[in-house]
């Protein structure tokens, strides 16, 4: 049996091809036990990146084959969350349908019994202009500034609780709660607003499926759930970046947002549940799982990125200390 490259009291990371390992050596150990698979697989880019990625039809075939493997790993009420960017046709200013074909292929796979529960959009205005040829060189297209996040499951009612990921109330809602009155009655849309429907303080408003990682409008507060902001607005990740700089290491270029991972962990799992990331990179998923008291298993094919994951998990804020194997 393959041994993990590194582990903590809550989780372990394996070095190798996750799909091969999960189809063979680790299949029975994890089958039906994973509460949440959350990952950002290599995007279907036209140019090969250092973190590895397939292209075109090869990518689609590879992606769709993941469906029955992931389905077997999940508990009956478990979820699969995948972040993926847009693709473009090679040497053409035309957006590819590849990512949509991948989604359809996955949820329609006859051996997987999966369905799309909800799509989320993660907007990041700090992304570099892409595709560069058609945005900054020829000036024919606008900046591709968001990624898709697909929430997929085996059942129509996977474990989920949106009360765990509430957004802060708006200023107007806070004022309404304070004065305990508002204009009720029938709206032009024919919706009937009850007299007391908005008077109860639930601790925050229900989260949206649009993540504004930076403010669209500087004059307006970004009302992301605390689970997102708690990662983004603290120094919890500075240890990793500072250590990488000190050691002269270039951090993984496509790290998944820790705030995004936090959100779905708290939304879709409970303490003690098992998370899995088959394409871990520097292991943001494992780090967030440690902070939120979940068990985790990660896989990474490149040893350099496992070394970065070890740096991340060596953060002194994570207790008890981790160990090499």
| Helix 238-246 with 303-313: angle, nearest 10 deg | 120
Residues 259 and 157 grouped into a single domain? yes
Query: Are the C-beta atoms of 224 and 167 separated by less than 8 Å?
Result: yes
Q: How far apart are CA 111 and CA 105, in angstroms?
A: 11
pLDDT at 201: 72
Residues 217 and 263 grouped into a single domain? yes
pLDDT for 75-119, tens place per residue?
999 999 999 988 888 899 999 999 999 999 999 999 999 999 999
pLDDT band at 189 (very low <50, low <70, confident <90, very high): low
* Within a domain: 1: no
Which range in 202-211, 219-228, 281-290 is most confidently predicted, on average pLDDT?
A: 281-290
Task: Name the residue among 276, 270, 310, 259 with its Cα closest to residue 292.
Answer: 270
Residues 152 and 230 grouped into a single domain? yes
pLDDT at 321: 47
Q: Which residue has the tokens 């990488």?
A: 244
| E strand or H helix at 265 | helix 258-268
* Within a domain: 44: yes
Q: In CATH, what number is assigned to the domain containing residue 106?
A: 3.40.50.150
* Average pLDDT value for the chain: 84
The average pLDDT across 36-57 equals 67
* Within a domain: 4: no
Higher-confidence position of 246 and 212: 246
Examine the pLDDT at 14 and tell me if it is beyond 90.
yes
| Parent domain of 105 | 9-164+207-319
Kindly compute the dihedral angle of the four CA atoms of residues 232, 238, 241, 245, in this order, to the nearest 10 degrees. 150
Instruction: Supply angle C-alpha 108, 110, 114, rounded to 5.
Output: 50
pLDDT at 18: 93
Residues 195 and 51 grouped into a single domain? no
Higher-confidence position of 24 and 48: 24
Residues 93 and 236 grouped into a single domain? yes
pLDDT for 133-179, tens place per residue?
999 999 999 999 899 999 999 999 999 999 999 988 777 777 777 77
Higher-confidence position of 95 and 215: 95
Rounded to a whole number, what is the distance in angstroms from the first to the last CA of the chain? Answer: 14
pLDDT at 236: 46
* Within a domain: 324: no
Examine the pLDDT at 266 and tell me if it is beyond 70.
yes
The average pLDDT across 16-32 equals 93
* Within a domain: 64: yes
pLDDT at 216: 57
pLDDT band at 54 (very low <50, low <70, confident <90, very high): low
Higher-confidence position of 205 and 63: 63
Please state, for a pLDDT cut of 90, what percent of the chain lies above it. Answer: 54
Q: Which residues of 231-242 are buried (b: 16+ CB within 10 A; e: fewer)?
A: bbeeebbebbee
Task: Name the residue among 148, 137, 184, 133 with its Cα closest to residue 43.
Answer: 148
pLDDT band at 235 (very low <50, low <70, confident <90, very high): very low
Cα R_g (the chain), whole angstroms? 21
| Helix 284-291 with 303-313: angle, nearest 10 deg | 20
pTM of the model: 0.86
Task: Name the residue among 305, 280, 299, 266 with its Cα closest to residue 36.
Answer: 266
Residues 44 and 188 grouped into a single domain? no
């Amino acid at each position: 049996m393959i041994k993990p490259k590194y582990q903590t009291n809550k989780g372990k990371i394996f070095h190798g091809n996750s799909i091969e390992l999960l189809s063979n050596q680790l299949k029975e150990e994890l089958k039906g036990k994973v509460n949440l698979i959350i990952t950002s697989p290599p995007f279907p880019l036209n140019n090969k990146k250092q973190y590895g990625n397939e292209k075109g039809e090869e990518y689609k075939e590879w992606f769709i084959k993941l469906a029955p493997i992931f389905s077997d790993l999940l508990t009956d009420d478990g979820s699969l969350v995948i972040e993926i960017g847009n693709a473009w046709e090679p040497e053409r200013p035309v957006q590819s349908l590849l990512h949509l074909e991948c989604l359809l292929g996955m949820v329609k796979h006859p051996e997987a019994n999966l369905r799309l529960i909800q799509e989320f959009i993660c907007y990041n205005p700090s992304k570099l202009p892409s595709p560069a040829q058609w945005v900054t060189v020829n000036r024919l297209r606008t900046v591709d500034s968001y990624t898709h996040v697909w929430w997929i499951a085996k059942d129509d009612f996977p474990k989920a609780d949106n009360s765990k990921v509430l957004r802060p109330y708006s200023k107007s809602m806070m004022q309404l709660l304070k004065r305990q009155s508002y204009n009720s009655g029938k709206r032009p849309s024919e919706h009937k607003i009850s007299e007391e429907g908005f008077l109860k303080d639930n601790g925050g408003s229900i989260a949206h499926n649009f993540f504004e990682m930076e403010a669209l409008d500087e004059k307006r507060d970004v009302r992301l759930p605390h689970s997102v902001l708690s990662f983004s607005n603290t120094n919890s990740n500075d240890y990793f970046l500072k250590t990488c700089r000190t050691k002269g290491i270039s951090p993984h270029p496509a790290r998944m947002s820790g705030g995004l991972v936090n959100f779905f962990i708290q939304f879709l799992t409970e303490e003690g549940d098992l998370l899995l990331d088959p394409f871990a990179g520097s292991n943001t998923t494992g780090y967030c799982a440690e902070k939120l008291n979940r068990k985790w298993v990660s896989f990474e094919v490149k040893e350099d990125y496992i070394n970065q994951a070890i740096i991340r998990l060596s953060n002194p804020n994570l207790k008890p200390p981790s160990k090499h194997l």
